[in-house]
Amino acid sequence: MDDEFDKLMALLSVESEEKEKQLDEIFQKCSEFFEKYKYILSEGSSAEKEAVQAKMSALRDKIKQENEKAHAELGVLPNDVKNLALEEKNFTEEQWQFLQKAQEKLFQEKAELEKKEIEDKAKRELELRSKSKKRSQGRKSGWLKT
């Protein structure tokens, strides 16, 4: 996972012109990283989850930094970019299809992560209730009836 993360961060650090040439590779590396991220969040140890969440936070910060840099270079506001990205006419057919598939995949992954978080929370709450119930039963078992 470290290797994929380092490659992805390196790709995001190249100059804008070079980044444009490598967009497909950047999206591919992001997709691979997100797949591993999702797997570790569901199956990894606490230490692995902590490490991958730190990496995701660093990646999020890097992407935010690159977006702000691009906005400044282009002299546009984030909402302007968002509006441009929503219009099919601003892309080739191939680019538009790629963006639509990437967006769909991100929405699906977000929904799956949210579902997993809800399931994990419910499981933890059930375990806590179970432990609490066992403790309270344990105390009562030693009481004398009068």
51-99 pLDDT, tens digit each: 888 888 888 888 888 888 888 888 888 888 888 888 999 888 888 888 8
Neighbours of 44 (CB within 10 A): 16
Are the C-beta atoms of residues 113 and 40 closer than 8 Å to each other? no
Residue type at position 127: E
Residue among 24, 29, 25, 27 at smallest CA distance from 6: 29
Q: Report domain extents, the chain.
A: 1-86, 93-141
97-126 pLDDT, tens digit each: 888 888 888 788 788 888 888 988 898 899
pTM: 0.56
Give the model's pLDDT for residue 73.
83
Q: Report the first-to-last Cα separation within the chain, whole angstroms.
A: 63
Copy the structure tokens of residue 54: 């730190």
